[in-house]
A and B are shown apart, each in its own frame.
Chain A
């Protein structure tokens, strides 16, 4: 049955990864050619604001309807659950957890951020619709915390996505997280929480930082 030309090609032997090569170069320069059509990676543009009175009213509405996307990277994720229970009850402030980034307006990063999670954080953040706000919980997200000398944990999350409010503590109590959210409310009402526009304006800087640590960049540059 077999043709003479149908020779058996031996499977290529997987190369043993050579970690001695120059670590500065990227292994992956981005998406492959055929995958690029699947995503819209147009640059984000800074959004225009409406006139001031209207914007104040909308900011009031935004601050009273914060929908949280909880990114439970570390131990801080545990602190969100008590917030939903009867004891702390964030729903009285108009907040509710939202399981999809499309509908959420607050991105809550709970804990340390490793490189693997940073990729997911960047994509989730970019999939959120603006105006979007970021609350980083736990000292690991602020300065690395107890992972200050770790080889795989980024030390400051605000180099990669804009952060509006930090909540310190290891881990912070739910009261502290609530205080962080009320601080965020103040910022939104004052029109100071413009992380989305900051991200659009300093897009190149953020992308450069992200690509410096994420060595296998196999995702679109901007995923809406």
Chain B
């Protein structure tokens, strides 16, 4: 994996190579080079399978971390590409032309994190949040409990202290 990283770093601005296992490694790349790196990996180095595309919200750093996890069937290795984008202007290039399933991941990220992928088909369609009007709910600054309390009414709770409750049940005459 380190060898592949060295080859790739001749062409792309990579950083922070981290080998988790013998068959799993991660590295960072600039957002502007990410799609060309993915194309390169898919077409030349045999990473033909997009395992997943997910997002981590680094609220303190004001960054979103996009993780593209690729799999190589020939060498049975996984390579994760980390891309950091600005949290205030969350726009990323789309990869729907490389993998068709990418459009579903991008639709989900658009819905859950508010990241825009211009050009990805159907990216604006709601996936599970039909008619959602609040902020994207998977962002860490979204207070899900406050939203829930505000929107839905809770069933009032009746709490029983078990000891007290059983005393009343069993020895109510005393």
Which residues on A are within 8 Å of B, measured CB to CB? 14, 16-17, 19-21, 23, 27-28, 114-116, 119, 142-144, 148-156, 159, 212-217
Contact partner of A155 among B130, B132, B135, B153, CB < 8 A?
A: B153
A19–B136 contact, CB under 8 A? yes
Q: Is B4 an interface residue (CB 8 A)?
A: no
Given contacts A28-B131, A216-B131, 10 further A-B contacts (CB under 8 A): A19-B132, A19-B134, A20-B135, A115-B129, A149-B144, A155-B152, A155-B154, A156-B153, A212-B151, A215-B131
Contact partner of A27 among B131, B147, B155, CB < 8 A?
A: B131
Interchain nearest-CB distance for B48 vs A (Å)? 31
Interchain nearest-CB distance for B159 vs A (Å)? 12
B153–A152 contact, CB under 8 A? no
Which residues on B are within 8 Å of A, measured CB to CB? 114, 116, 124, 128-137, 142, 144-145, 147-148, 151-155, 157
Dominant SS among interface residues on chain A: loop
A216–B154 contact, CB under 8 A? no
A-B interface contact total, Cβ < 8 Å:
71
B157 contacts across to A, CB distance below 8 A: 143
B145–A215 contact, CB under 8 A? no
A151–B155 contact, CB under 8 A? no
Bound Cα distance from A221 to B114, whole angstroms: 31
For A216, give the chain B residue with the smallest CB separation: B131
A sample of 30 cross-chain residue pairs with beta-carbon separation below 8 angstroms, ordered by A number, consists of A17-B124, A19-B132, A19-B136, A23-B133, A27-B131, A27-B133, A115-B129, A115-B130, A116-B130, A119-B130, A142-B155, A144-B152, A148-B148, A148-B154, A149-B144, A149-B148, A151-B137, A151-B142, A151-B147, A151-B148, A152-B137, A153-B152, A154-B152, A212-B151, A213-B151, A213-B152, A214-B130, A215-B133, A216-B131, A217-B131
Interchain nearest-CB distance for A111 vs B (Å)? 15
A21 contacts across to B, CB distance below 8 A: 133
For B142, give the chain A residue with the smallest CB separation: A151
A19–B114 contact, CB under 8 A? yes
Contact partner of B124 among A14, A27, A28, A144, CB < 8 A?
A: A14
A143–B131 contact, CB under 8 A? no
B148 contacts across to A, CB distance below 8 A: 148-151, 155
Interface centre among A20, A119, A150, A217 (most CB of B within 10 A): A150
For A25, give the chain B residue with the smallest CB separation: B133
Bound Cα distance from A23 to B153, whole angstroms: 17
B154 contacts across to A, CB distance below 8 A: 143-144, 148, 155-156
Bound Cα distance from A54 to B145, whole angstroms: 51
Say yes or no: A152-B131 contact (C-beta < 8 A), given A19-B136, A143-B155, A159-B153: no
B144–A19 contact, CB under 8 A? no
Interchain nearest-CB distance for B164 vs A (Å)? 21
Interchain nearest-CB distance for A56 vs B (Å)? 33
A148 contacts across to B, CB distance below 8 A: 148, 154
Bound Cα distance from A213 to B116, whole angstroms: 26
